[in-house]
A and B are shown apart, each in its own frame.
Chain A
Amino acid sequence: MDILKFITAGSVDDGKSTLIGRLLYDSESILADQLEALHRSNRKNDDGSIDLAILTDGLKAEREQGITIDVAYKYFQTEKRKFIIADTPGHIQYTRNMVTGASNANLAIILIDARKGVIEQTTRHSFLISLLGLPQVVVCINKMDMVDYSEEVYNKIVADYKVLAEKVGLENVTYIPVSALKGDNIVYPSVNIGWYKGESLLHLLETIEIKIDDSKAHARFPVQWVVRPQTEELHDYRGYAGRVSSGSFKVDDKVTVLPSGFNSTIEKIELLDEEPEEAFAGMSVTIHLKDEIDISRGDILVNTHYQPEVSQQIEADLCWMDTRVLDTTHTYFIQHNSKVTRCRIQEVLYKVNINTLEKEYNEDFKLNDIGRIVIKTAEPLAFDLYQNNKANGGAIIIDSRTNVTVGALMLRATVE
């Protein structure tokens, strides 16, 4: 069994909470005491049925203010697959939360209210999903019950969305007409939407191929920790502990250590008492090399034949996540895999208005702003372009004054 991680993009008004609640409820993922709390609640729909949105309610602070603060993670499983939902709020002031949720997802569900069609926030959500490079998108056209399950309405929205998808560069898009409130096409195929011949949402989620875009990417292994027992019997033991971030390593593969550039060969791969011949993307292992080289946390082992970019001046897309505006004179930290070094944002090339997708050239880079910048780092980074390899192409910016994560970077090109 494998795990599908997905994000839901939409606002409360689109019925996002109801959709997640319906998925959990109809797939029988709710336990008795939670169900009891649900039935006990005073919140009901207009027709007296239970309000499934309650299932995604979070904190007291949120209930009091009627808002969603943050990313909430939900877990459920069917006989075919395990699912992790990152439930993120859809309003513009929560762009950073959506970016956070999307950074770890394999698939995005975009909700569109059938009465409203493709609107400004649909553009925003689609742009962010494309920016973060999610390989699969499912567009759920919701509230079909409120438009008399009209095929015409559905077709119009699909046609509109196709124009948008092309504009923002989204490829694998699937469309489903649903009613989360009534349960149409969420877990069970709808009897009300006879003209739709496709699958229900859950069936699609259970069967869609999980595109691990990194599996075809080149072999990368950021070193997290050096295992050196220094006991009598293990005097010369020196293993490099880390997680393969992309591609695969085999015993006898030629590897290069970056940024130093030393070459060696893999002698052994270990996982406690096991010695696998191969370690591929996602595996946490300990690697031994045939040569004694000075390697420490922050270095990366790569396949010698397919080396990444190594640079101190990089063009990147930036999503700003702090209330304090970006300061191009301040020295920040950049964290890229296990490497942390100082950096400065040298130049803001442009910002993108995420509702209209137009470029803007005003100076201040504020909370939730997204745009293209040039960053200069104190030490060289060994990175891949984000569009080719997400795992080795993403980085964060940390404010050295507050230690808070203030920016997400998608590294796009080396500046010559």
Chain B
Amino acid sequence: MSKHQLDYLDELEAEAIYILREVAGQFEKPALLFSGGKDSITLVRLAEKAFRPGKFPFPLVHIDTGHNFIETIEYRDNMIKRIGEKLIVGHVQDSIDEGKVVEQKGKNASRNALQTVTLLDTIAKHQFDACIGGARRDEEKARAKERIFSVRDEFGQWDPKRQRPELWNIFNGKIHKGENVRVFPISNWTELDVWNYIRREKIDLPSIYFAHERDCITRNGQLMAASPFLNMDEDDIITKQNVRFRTVGDMTCTAAVESYAYHIDDIIDEISASKISERGARMDDKVSEAAMEDRKKGGYF
């Protein structure tokens, strides 16, 4: 490798920092959407590299379904204390109380779909013109076609046929009032890249990413964490399992995988050898083959 050739992690990092700075330079009121998952935690680290010793030119925004893992919320609050940045929380419970959305019923009820409404309301309330998110193109095929600067109309909708061409590293962030842009700085990272970066940068993660013992039930062939938020009946048998989570979403839609990976090295080994893609553990994508595409058109991340 020549002296002036960046290693892949350095190249991905430099690209993400560049994108974050473009957001800062081009928008009036940006925000960083923080889920508590490893991808948005990585974004926070990248924002530190982009803007320190200055403050972030945007607040962090968390859409809280109320069904989060307690470990995620603890992690979030500790992190905010450490980095000293502003956090805005949008509560799905508020959207339910205001009658804007109706809680799903039945065994597979989840608040995952409801959070789109809370997200759009939070964007409108604070007049955010750009929302930075941790989505990656390798996650899912609808995402494979999305731009790094993804313009949404005033209803938050994504129109795959009307995307702006994105040439070289020039990002066009010009929008009309009411529109906003979703920005994905780690679009070109794979799951393994994120893990390797977390290891290299020694980034602390919520404990549920690592193997632990937990009460689980099996549903639709997947292990789900037993919790008060999951509608359970007598058919659901609770067993103790050794598990970890590969993605961190709502407790009602994030499946666990059996695992004995207690350290990040174990996780990287596990993923390198893994035979199931990351979104394979998301119940929300299983509904139909075009599930993600449809949700994105409706304003989802």
A residues apposed to B, CB below 8 Å: 1-3, 31-34, 37, 57-61, 69-75, 77, 82, 84, 96-97, 99-100, 103-104, 210, 212, 215, 224-225, 227-229, 234, 237, 241-243, 248, 271-272, 280-284, 297, 321, 333, 335-338, 390-391, 394-396, 398, 403-405, 408
Contacts and interface: CB of A to CB of B under 8 A. Distances in A.
B155 interface: no
A59 B293 contact: yes
26 contacts: A1-B8, A31-B277, A32-B276, A33-B280, A58-B142, A59-B160, A60-B289, A69-B161, A70-B163, A72-B141, A73-B137, A73-B188, A84-B188, A224-B21, A224-B22, A225-B21, A225-B25, A227-B51, A241-B50, A243-B14, A282-B6, A283-B14, A336-B170, A390-B168, A405-B164, A405-B167
A71 B145 contact: yes
A99 B8 contact: no
B21 A284 contact: yes
B55 A229 contact: yes
B276 A281 contact: no
A272 B48 contact: yes
B24 interface: yes
Contacts of A33: 276-277, 280
Interface in B282-300: 289-290, 293-294
A229 B170 contact: no
B161 A396 contact: no
Shortest Cβ-Cβ A-B pairs, 7 listed:
A32-B275, A284-B17, A60-B290, A403-B174, A33-B280, A224-B21, A284-B14
Contacts of B137: 73, 75
Contacts of B190: 75, 77
B54 interface: yes
Given A33-B276, A243-B17, A396 B8 contact: no
Contact of B25 (A32, A100, A224): A224
A229 B53 contact: yes
B4 interface: yes
A241 B10 CA distance: 17
Interface in B1-50: 1-2, 4-8, 10-15, 17-18, 21-22, 24-25, 48-50
Contacts, number: 174
Interface in B71-128: none
Contacts of A282: 6, 10-11, 14
Nearest to B163: A70
A398 B172 contact: yes
Contacts of A333: 174
B138 interface: yes
Contacts of B11: 2-3, 282
Interface string B164-182: 1111111010111000000
A70 B160 contact: yes
Contacts of B7: 1-2
B21 A396 contact: no
A77 B188 CA distance: 13
B202 interface: no
A248 B3 CA distance: 11
Contacts of B170: 335-337, 394-396
Chain B interface helix/strand/loop/mixed: loop
B144 interface: yes
A31 B138 CA distance: 12
A17 to B, nearest CB: 13
A408 B21 contact: no
B1 A228 contact: no
B52 interface: yes
B274 interface: yes
A104 to B, nearest CB: 7
Nearest to A97: B165
Contacts of B167: 99-100, 103-104, 394, 396, 405, 408
A338 B168 contact: no
B172 A241 contact: no
Nearest to B290: A60
A405 B163 CA distance: 9
Contact of A72 (B13, B24, B48, B144): B144
A215 B54 contact: no
Given A59-B293, A242-B21, A282-B11, A31 B280 contact: yes
A405 to B, nearest CB: 5
A120 B94 CA distance: 60
Contacts of A34: 277
A64 to B, nearest CB: 10
A229 B54 contact: yes
Contact of B175 (A69, A403, A405): A403
A343 B174 CA distance: 16
A272 to B, nearest CB: 5
B52 A281 contact: no
- Determine which residue in B7, B53, B175 has the highest number of CB atoms from chain A within 10 A of its CB, and name it: B53
A234 B52 CA distance: 11
B279 to A, nearest CB: 9
A335 B290 CA distance: 35
Nearest to B57: A225
A390 B168 CA distance: 9
A396 B4 contact: no
B165 A408 contact: yes
Given A394-B167, A405-B165, A234 B53 contact: yes
B18 A72 contact: no
Contacts of A395: 170
Contacts of A242: 18, 21
